[in-house]
Amino acid sequence: MGYKPDLTRDDVTPKALYMNRRQIMASAAGLMAGGIAAPALAQNELEPNTFEEITNYNNYYEFGTGKEDPAKFAHMLTTDPWSIEVDGLVDRPGTYFYADLTEGMTTEERIYRFRCVEAWSMVIPWNGFELNQLLEKVGVQSGAKYVAFETAYRPEEMPGVKFPVVEWPYVEGLRLDEAMHPLTLMATGIYGEPMPKQNGAPIRLVVPWKYGFKSIKSIVRISLVEDEPPTTWNKANAREYGFYSNVNPNVDHPRWSQATERVIGGGIFAARKDTLMFNGYEDQVASLYAGMDLSEKF
């Protein structure tokens, strides 16, 4: 695809580490020869994340509000077979089975910083393909300006939806140029393995310059629309959660600062890190918001 995101294998735990629980002393940089280039992030400022951390500290409220609830309960989710409805302003609408929708996609590993609005972050090696590939496959019509997404809603498999934490099903959206950006990923796995259920199996969105709740999980519907679509957290509390939700250290959440973050795995006494504008991807995505007041369009 030719696009080089920000992080390298040095910023995440090599797969063998979480398998045998031993610290691997040799550099893992050789594993990424010809792969992902490093960003303007100081490599020694990032603590690695293990597979266990990535899959046991999650927000997936359909399975509970505790960070460990998804790992406990997501096994209940049936992911095979899986289909996604594609509709709206597209040339080829329809219900696509997962295998048919992903057939022919160019997949790769993307190592991204992933930051949540609660001011914690991880570094995660996602596997997947650029969302623009899928949109090109279904054919975006000229009137489309936004892409809307919807998560599976299955009360019999998702114990968390019994509680009105938010309005179900979970929905999200991107402006079309954000969706077409080469950093925007349809992730299908982690560490080269199929996506764990608690992380959004079998397919989820990853938008690394936005807060984590924009990266909607277990997608069952994608709609191309003309008007800005409703999004779950904006509907729940527009004062706290805007449509764009770009990582911005200069715009605080009303109940806490977003100026610093806690890196998961760094230990309870680890120093907090300064939050980077657009989560460290400013050089790649700032042009999308040229002329916008990002304190108003948060």
**DSSP for the chain?**
-----S--GGGS--HHHHHH-----S--GGGGTTSPPP-SS-GGG-----HHHHHHS---GGG-SSTTHHHHHGGG---SS-EEEEEESBSS-EEEEHHHHHTT---EEEEEEEE-TTSEEEEEEEEEEEHHHHHHHH-B-TT--EEEEEE---TTT-GGGGS-SSPSSPEEEEEHHHHHSTT-EEEEEETTEEPPGGGTSS-EEE-TTB-GGGS--SEEEEEEESSPPP-HHHHH-TTT--SS-B--TTS-BTTB--SEEEETTS-TTPPPEEPPGGGGTHHHHGGGGTT--TTT--
The parent domain of residue 173 ranges over 49-289
Counted domains in the chain: 1
Phi then psi for 140, rounded to 5 degrees? -80, 130
Asked if residue 37 belongs to a domain, the reply is no
Phi then psi for 286, rounded to 5 degrees? -60, -35
For the chain, 298 residues long, give each residue's pLDDT as a single digit of tens: 444 455 666 666 555 544 443 232 223 333 332 333 334 333 334 755 999 999 999 999 999 999 999 999 999 999 999 999 999 999 999 999 999 999 999 999 999 999 999 999 999 999 999 999 999 999 999 999 999 999 999 999 999 999 999 999 999 999 999 999 999 999 999 999 999 999 999 999 999 999 999 999 999 999 999 999 999 999 999 999 999 999 999 999 888 899 999 999 887 787 899 999 999 999 999 999 999 999 999 9
Asked if residue 136 belongs to a domain, the reply is yes
Residue 173 and residue 77 in contact, taking contact as beta carbons nearer than 8 Å: no
Asked if residue 36 belongs to a domain, the reply is no
Residue 252 is encoded by which pair of tokens?
């605080």
Asked if residue 32 belongs to a domain, the reply is no
Residue count of the chain: 298
Other Cβ atoms within 10 Å of 235 Cβ, number:
12
Look up the CATH number of the domain holding residue 83.
Answer: 3.90.420.10
119, 100, 79, 98: which is closest to 263 by C-alpha? 119
- Give me the pLDDT at residue 265, please: 87
Asked if residue 155 belongs to a domain, the reply is yes
- Give me the pLDDT at residue 34, please: 31
Asked if residue 91 belongs to a domain, the reply is yes
Distance CA 274, CA 255 (A): 18
- Give me the pLDDT at residue 23, please: 35
- Give me the pLDDT at residue 31, please: 31
- Give me the pLDDT at residue 14, please: 53
Asked if residue 98 belongs to a domain, the reply is yes
Asked if residue 115 belongs to a domain, the reply is yes
